[in-house]
Amino acid sequence: MIYLEIFWSFFQIGLFSIGGGYAALPLIENQVLKVHNWLTLGEYADLLTISQMTPGPIALNASTFVGTRVAGLPGAIIATVGCVTPSCIIVLTLAYFYFKYKNLSTIQGVLKGLRPAVVSLIASAGLSILMLAVFKTEGVSLFAAKLSDINFVSIILVAIGVFVLKKFKADPIKVMLATGIIGIFVYGLF
């Protein structure tokens, strides 16, 4: 019976946590602390810390943690499956309808309209990361920046990384690791 409760709780979390991991936190808190009393408040704080620290989506990490705490390894597997099942159903349904109706001009128009929006969202995220790398403090406007606000070490590391990627067709993971190691030494000296 506990396995069914775990599955159903995390199925609901996966289904209604629209907007990413942080949007899932109130749902997780409600299910884990209020509805089932599976964790104490201190354990929930640990859950948040571990879920944000470990790689992967917060809701998925939280489901694995709670499942392990409540019912061991089988509970972790069931909670994780419960959390991802709604997304799988939705994506498979959308894929079915896409492949069935992909030749309709309306669908093609919607997809063509979405492409610029997706590109702009990705570009916006990339620009935000670049701004954090280029300027020494957060919140500096590109147009109001002073020369002292610019982090020249970061600019040089970005330029070296782009050069190595383009010129030598290097593995991006190796370039990130190398620039990270260089950054440790350079920032450790200053």
Question: Do 82 and 113 have their domain in common?
Answer: no
pLDDT, tens digit, 9 for 90 and up, residues 162-178: 999 999 999 999 999 99
Range of the domain at 118: 105-189
Q: Name which of 57, 110, 103, 102 is nearest 84 in CA terms.
A: 57
For the chain, the domain total comes to 2
Query: Which of the listed residues 82, 101, 120 is the one where a domain comes to its end?
Result: 101
Amino acid, single-letter form, for residue 135: F
d(CA 155, CA 168): 20
Question: Do 48 and 74 have their domain in common?
Answer: yes
Question: Do 92 and 16 have their domain in common?
Answer: yes
d(CA 31, CA 161): 45
Q: Name which of 74, 77, 91, 68 is nearest 15 in CA terms.
A: 91
Query: Which of the listed residues 69, 101, 133 is the one where a domain comes to its end?
Result: 101
d(CA 18, CA 146): 40
Question: Do 120 and 86 have their domain in common?
Answer: no
Lowest mean pLDDT among 36-40, 50-54, 90-94, 179-183: 50-54
Paired strand residues for 5: none
In this model, does residue 4 exceed pLDDT 80?
A: yes
pLDDT, tens digit, 9 for 90 and up, residues 114-136: 899 888 888 887 887 788 788 77
Question: Do 13 and 93 have their domain in common?
Answer: yes
Number of Cβ within a 10 Å radius of residue 93: 10
Question: Do 85 and 141 have their domain in common?
Answer: no
Question: Do 45 and 97 have their domain in common?
Answer: yes
pLDDT-derived band at 187, boundaries 50, 70, 90: confident
Number of Cβ within a 10 Å radius of residue 178: 16
Query: Which of the listed residues 46, 80, 101 is the one where a domain comes to its end?
Result: 101
Q: What is the mean pLDDT of residues 2-27?
A: 89
Question: Do 92 and 121 have their domain in common?
Answer: no
Question: Do 8 and 64 have their domain in common?
Answer: yes
pTM of the model: 0.62
d(CA 27, CA 46): 16
Question: Do 6 and 73 have their domain in common?
Answer: yes
18 to each of 86, 102, 150, 180, how far by Cα in Å? 11, 25, 37, 34
